[in-house]
Amino acid sequence: MSGLVSLVGAGPGDPEYLTRLGERRLKEADVVFYDRLVAPELLRLASQAQLIDVGKLPYFHKVKQGQIEQLLIDYAQQNKRVVRLKAGDPYVFGRGGEEGQHLAAAGITFEVVPGLTSALAGLAAAGIPITHRDYAASFHVITGHRQSGNTALDWANIAAQEGTLVFLMGMSQLHQIVAKLRQHGKAATTPVAVIQWATQWNQRVVTATLATIINVVRQQKLGAPSLIVVGAVVKLRSALQPPNTPLTGKHLLIPAAQSTTLTTLLRDQGAFVDHFNRSTVQFLPIVLPNLQRYQTLVVTDMVAFTQFKAQLLAAKLDLRVLAALRLVVTTQRVAVGLRHLGLLVDAQIRQIELALTDPGALFLGAADTKPALAVDGATWLSLYRHVLLRQNQLRPRQYQVAIFTSTQAVNDLFNSVAPSQRQQLRDLPSFAFGEQVTAALLAQGVQRVYTSQPSYAALLTTLTNWLRQ
């Protein structure tokens, strides 16, 4: 019996271009083989999977193609759900066809999950339509990186085409592409665009003519990965390029595992937002207390409550045992979470304002957030603890701004990085969600801290006003 191999297209770069089926396959995966240009945020969707980097650099393949194909077969034969995550679309110069052939020959069940190819989406992100009734009735996508021994491209036919020409993986061959097109009759005045890191925060675009593009690319220091676009549609870029907002092209760091409403607000304003898992949760063994001893149940976070509910069920109890307790939460997020479970809270009180000396109060929370309690005071039930993840791959210098929405986020991040990364974080402009978060950042030695009121709208206003200065 074999598992399922999904050849998934990750899209052109921006993680939001992933399809819904691609997202589901990543969440279901046991193992993911991923390419070099895949957005790290997509890998976080595969939270339960083994991640294997098989990315390729020009002229250097850390894992040979034949080895990749055999690994896909081996894992599928272990009845695993395998994802081969490829930039763009698996069947557009991605060797997905070859991988599919080998899987089929081995009798492995596989599927293709199409992705947006940069040959289309990358142009659109730069304000260039690949077709237009007045400028191009066809388009042609050509690889600039040919396998050695293959028949040479038919440059006479390519140059004669009146539609849009898009060259993928062609930056190392830019001189040859320009020379061959001109040699076979393409006019020196033909508009050309080069789009580097299409759809991503560091996207850069230059336009020129076939006669001048090499010099412009050299002057602007563009390199791979880039798209080369040749054709009259390039002239439309000035009219069709996306609107420029205060957050356009800004690369923001939010130390949180998942996207939030704040993330959506920022992205809708043109920002590129990166998240990462600060820590993992380790559940702790507990002995359920006698709930009849308490008058108040204080829930400090939903992870704790979810584990508490699981422990109740394991003891053959359910939420009806809470009926006599006054239900208190410490944040609005917890109140909303409990409402989704059919529980309405009696009060929302900040933890700092709660009476920790009340022996009739039972707190649900994490071991590492437990406050100092009086001997005869409230009971704190530690249901889990955070285990910090080392952030070896974090490069703070690639961000323009960091945003912190909790003191826990501040402490987790600074305690999980190397000294050199910590110093870079101290130099990064940081926006704090309220005065307590500001104090935590200052305590870590952050040089530039900007405080907003603790609401997403206020933080967005504070950030955009700062960027306009």
Q: What is the pLDDT of residues 24-60, one digit of tens each?
A: 999 999 999 999 889 888 998 898 899 999 987 655 5
- pLDDT tens per residue, range 177-186: 999 999 999 9
* 180, 159 contact by CB (below 8 A): yes
pLDDT at 47: 80
Q: Hey, which CATH number is domain 120-240, 3.40.640.10, 3.40.50.300, 3.30.950.10, 3.30.70.580?
A: 3.30.950.10
> Does residue 365 carry a pLDDT above 80?
yes
CA distances from 401 to 17, 204, 450 (A): 23, 20, 11
* 364, 381 contact by CB (below 8 A): yes
Q: Hey, which CATH number is domain 281-388, 3.40.50.360, 3.40.190.80, 3.40.50.720, 3.40.50.10090?
A: 3.40.50.10090
Supply the CATH classification number for the domain 251-278+389-468.
Answer: 3.40.50.10090
Supply the CATH classification number for the domain 4-116.
Answer: 3.40.1010.10
| CA gap 344, 188 in Å, rounded | 71
Tell me which residues are annotated as active site.
35, 56, 169
- pLDDT tens per residue, range 375-392: 778 999 999 998 887 888
Q: Where in the chain is the domain with CATH 3.40.50.10090?
A: 251-278+389-468, 281-388
pTM across the whole model: 0.80
pLDDT at 223: 95
- Which band of pLDDT confidence, cut at 50, 70 and 90, is reported for residue 110? very high
pLDDT at 246: 83
| CA gap 194, 181 in Å, rounded | 16
Mean pLDDT score, 281-287: 92
- The mean pLDDT value of the chain amounts to 91
| CA gap 111, 196 in Å, rounded | 30
Q: Where in the chain is the domain with CATH 3.40.1010.10?
A: 4-116
pLDDT at 94: 85
- Which band of pLDDT confidence, cut at 50, 70 and 90, is reported for residue 362? very high
Q: Where in the chain is the domain with CATH 3.30.950.10?
A: 120-240
Cis peptide before 225 (omega within 30 of 0): yes
